[in-house]
Amino acid sequence: MRAVVSRFGSGHFQQALEVGYDHFVSDIDEAKGGNSSGPSPHEYLGAALAACTGMTLKMYAQRKSWDLQDAIVTVDIERVNDIEKFKRSIKLVGVVDVEQSQRLLEIANKCPVHKALTGTIEINTELL
């Protein structure tokens, strides 16, 4: 996996992000002192879960030759009593029956980002 690099961007809180040759920004809402110039870090976390879920469902459905034309994944994150609560909603588009839908729900819960967020996480930090 490629490393993610963050540097100070323009404005109060903006961060310039790099992943290989890809460049993008993160910021926070104006109401919180930012410039709203990009998704917040928590929004990127939600985006990671949504994208991974969609990719996992697409890969599984293709492998099974199911007629899943799209999976619209919406993730909202709310902090309640120091607990991050993720609400993930999935709309399946295409010709899938009830049994296939249930299996796709099981598969959604097996996407790598879901596993990372619900498993044990270790963060090792060093100053260079």
Q: What is the C-alpha separation between 128 and 121, in angstroms, rounded? A: 22
| Tens-digit pLDDT profile for residues 5-54 | 999 999 899 999 999 999 999 999 999 999 999 999 999 999 999 999 99
pLDDT category at 76 given cuts 50, 70, 90 is very high
29, 53 contact by CB (below 8 A)? no
Is 41-118 assigned to CATH 3.30.300.20?
yes
pTM (2 d.p.): 0.94
Task: Tell me what the pLDDT averaged over the chain comes to.
Answer: 97
